[in-house]
Structure 1
Amino acid sequence: MARTELRDALARADRASMQLLMGAGMALLSYVFVAVLLFTVVASLIVIGLGVLPETVLLLRRMAGAKRRQVGRWSGAEIREAYTPLTGTLVERVRKAVKDPGTYRDLRWLVVHFVYGLLLLYAALLLWVIGALVDGVWCALLGRRAVVLPLIVRLADLDTRWSTALLKPSPEAERNAELAERVEELTVTRAGAVAAHGAELRRIERDLHDGTQARLVSLSMRVGLARRAYDKQIAAGLGEAPPDPDVVRKLLADAQDQAEEALTELRHVVRGIHPPILTDRGLVGAVRALAAGSGLDVTVRDDGVEDGPRAPAAVEAAAYFVVAEALTNAAKHSGARRAAVELARGAAGLRLLVSDEGRGSADESGGTGLLGMRRRVAALDGTMEVVSPAGGPTRIGVELPCVW
């Protein structure tokens, strides 16, 4: 038992020592960075070397980021980064680098870590020497718990606490970083929504041009031929030959068929914009109709969506198209026989989950289906998660925020 505890203590102390050694190595890099910093200060005093300042700040950020990741691996708690992006012209980049509070926070950490990083490593080396003597006898011969080696772990914890306190951004900087991330996310979302809107317009234009317009042109020609045939029959009736109404009747019948096909094409286009079944049956009824016509054995589960007020039309339409595309993909590509759709009313909005028992390996880069679904969801500030390991199953979860 004592030997097991000694091995555990040695393993923990070894990991802690590696943590301190990496920290000390970063502290030694501070020597090099101090030289770079002095060069930057001197170069910035003359206008020619002003462009070095933003690059030096970026190097400092990378060093601080490496320390954040190291501390995060040891403690299990991530230290958030909050920096002002160094973009724009040279003058703007220099101004942002100088005014960014994160620059001075990283400099403060660099100076302080320059001292305590090496001191903690020296203390750990000393404890290793003492621990090899004391704990080796204390645990191996007397059967007691290690008392010196655990102190190395505490040194690593101390390094983590100090580094966290120095590198953690202020609440204001953290709020600004969250705001910047939100703006970037909305920019990407808007671009995706614009792309999805453009693709939808092109689809509607293509359907109208290739389908409905062609039907109407054909209808116009049929009506024109029927009119000419009718005129000829009238003219023929004035002579000796009797009129033949069968030709006119056939042309009018063809024209009627063309008109019905054009109406069918128009209905198809209208359903692509906003399915009328959503207005008539609601989201749950429309999804059940999709399930019935999908060719799969689909189970639809409703968790409060059908009860109470309905979601906004845009949210229902997005959910409907996601389910339709997911079931279509499952029927075409997954090889599944069964699928399930779950709709749930949440406090923040509508949640839906589409799953199938197919072969999995769904890839967003392999086609436009999943990408179109993600863009449609992102346009409403929603989220979509696709889990599709090789061998299945495939699960597509979507959350659409709305006020019920």
Structure 2
Amino acid sequence: MRILQLNKFFYLRGGSSRYFFEVSKLLAHKGHKVGFFSMLDEKNNKSNWSKYFASPFSHRTLDRLFYSYEVNHKLSKLLDEFPADIAHLHTIYHQLSPSLLLELKKRNIPVIQTVHDYHLISLNYNLFHNGKICEITKQNLFYKGVVHKCRNNSYLYTFMEVIGKYFQYYLGWERNLVDLFIAPSYFMKNKLIEYGVEAEKIINLPHFIDHTDYQPNSGGGDYILYFGRLSEEKGLSFLIMVMSQLPKIKLLIVGRGDEEENLKKKVEKLNLTNIKFLGFKDGIELRDLIRNCQFTILPSLWYEVFGMSILESFASGRTVLASKIGAIPEIIKDGINGFLFDPGNTDDCKEKILKLWSNPVLIKNMGKNGRESVEKKYGWQEHYEKIMALYNKLV
């Protein structure tokens, strides 16, 4: 089968792009022909398909909120060379354009989309603003976001986004031209339905991991680990305050993001010596950091859509301490393969950290349970069979 994968970023940038690359790799491994459409960026992985990629997004390309001649023209050229049997969309909004759906439908190409964030139903990708969950525009009341400055904390950006959302809502491209939506969690599926997306068009299919790439470690180093995006909704400012009360426990923070400098300044201001920032890590280097930690932590304040870092931790035989929010409780079974705490609750989080840190046997047993759960529920073969069933249903 000829499968076109579309994502606005062609480099590793969080769980959505990791899934984009991993599912593409899986399909190619199984003998399918995989093509790519994305946006040019100096951070991109090398690709022979980049000659068709859209130019970088800027204030000069704001037309992509509505219709982009450039995006559609370049996609058309790609499809002339690579007549896809099906198109699999990931995150395309802003940097690419929903208008590309018109080009796909003009050629009668079935479209499936994995929903990695909340843009389909909200002005704000994360349903998170000013440090807390924000659903002020529910349901399709996008105009309310202007006063609230839901986009980039700016009246102008929010106003432009509101116009774009109503444009797409009334034309119906984003929702009507996609044949099937894949929700990685039941939480996401239910949230989409709650906001008016047709239930019949939504299928739950969790992400997967190749656990054979990860070697469990029965021991553990002298640190706990956070790895992922460094952004406000991930709760790292909260975690720093928790760790300020635990000076004898070391926290390593791996990743990059728009809050990186603010977080470093906070650590410096509090004069904390037990928190270290390691920057972006990937591949063997990241896997070694995971397998050698005591446990990983995910202190999210937003509705997590899935939680790839949890699967990576479990595959490494490491247990996870995480917020009880969004899709996280679908993966972490409290007291079995990890612990959950109330989001933003300092005492609850601190108590669970100390409980794990002081009990290596508990860490080992939970880590073993975590490894078993990814082997049984999140394997690549089962995922491949299910996604091919969806592709074949549409083709």
TM over 0.5: no
Q: Point out the structure with max Rg over C-alpha.
A: 1
Q: TM-score, normalised by structure 1?
A: 0.23
Higher strand share: 2
